[in-house]
Chains A and B, each alone.
Chain A
Amino acid sequence: GQQLNQSPQSMFIQEGEDVSMNCTSSSIFNTWLWYKQDPGEGPVLLIALYKAGELTSNGRLTAQFGITRKDSFLNISASIPSDVGIYFCAGQLGNSGNTPLVFGKGTRLSVIA
């Protein structure tokens, strides 16, 4: 089946530092989504990307849809303690949004105050 590779698997950073994580696939996706999940909760949608090359921001978060449509990147600027959690990328194959998401295994972010 489809697989998304997320890296790094985990990262420890100091509060105030910038964070970068990425997601790659052997398949082309038409939509990329980034989610954050806290322990015991469902994933919360952060950013959605719809076109190759698209760069989208949501507050301190910026994500890009790779030109090849096989990768995506998420950056967090000036990290704060509440950024702690697991970040998942998800790709969608279909053109009309009515297909399931394929998820990576997540990047676990820890922020040291």
Chain B
Amino acid sequence: DTGVSQNPRHKITKRGQNVTFRCDPISEHNRLYWYRQTLGQGPEFLTYFQNEAQLEKSRLLSDRFSAERPKGSFSTLEIQRTEQGDSAMYLCASSRAYEQYFGPGTRLTVT
């Protein structure tokens, strides 16, 4: 049983560029979550999918952020016109019930 995978693991980009991250959940999990974690903090919720439907979005998810989960399998998180404040670890988690299993994260650095 493979775990949640995320790509890339690290991304360095210049301010103003667009970036896209990918998450592949555990295969039988229908729920997929995106979280953001900054230094010294716990993960904070961004958005949630059940199958292909995006059911909830946090106020943290500004209009520069968009997430998709076509066909209810992998998901992508895109950030447009990146800002230095977007530098963080972006975590993906999947679940079938209550327990959420996290991927290794994508570390974004905006210079």
A43 to chain B, nearest CB (A): 5
B42 close to A88 (CB less than 8 A):
yes
Q: Which of A31, A35, A100 contacts B48 (CB 8 A)?
A: A100
Q: Is A106 an interface residue (CB 8 A)?
A: yes
Residue of A nearest to B95 (CB): A97
Dominant SS at the B interface? strand
A interface, how many residues as a size bin? 20 to 34
Q: Which of B4, B43, B97 contacts A101 (CB 8 A)?
A: B43
Residue of B nearest to A50 (CB): B98
Against B, the Cβ 8 Å flags (1 = close, 0 = not) of A40-53 are 11111100101000
A42 close to B102 (CB less than 8 A):
yes
Q: Is A33 an interface residue (CB 8 A)?
A: yes
Number of B residues near A (Cβ < 8 Å) is: 29
Q: Which of B40, B42, B98 contacts A31 (CB 8 A)?
A: B98
Q: Which residues of A contact B48 (CB under 8 A)?
A: 98-100
Q: Which of B31, B35, B50, B101 contacts A45 (CB 8 A)?
A: B101
Evaluate whether A43 and B98 lie within 8 angstroms (CB atoms) in the complex, with A98-B31, A100-B33, A100-B48 already known: no
Q: Which residues of B contact A105 (CB under 8 A)?
A: 40-42
CB neighbors of A among B43-100 (8 A): 43-45, 48, 50, 55-56, 58, 91, 93, 95, 97-100
Mark B residues whose CB is within 8 Å of A. Answer: 4, 6, 31, 33, 35, 40-45, 48, 50, 55-56, 58, 91, 93, 95, 97-105, 107
Mark A residues whose CB is within 8 Å of B. Answer: 4, 31, 33, 35, 40-45, 48, 50, 88, 90, 92, 97-106
CB pairs A–B below 8 angstroms (9 shown):
A42-B91, A50-B98, A97-B95, A97-B97, A98-B31, A99-B56, A101-B33, A101-B100, A105-B41
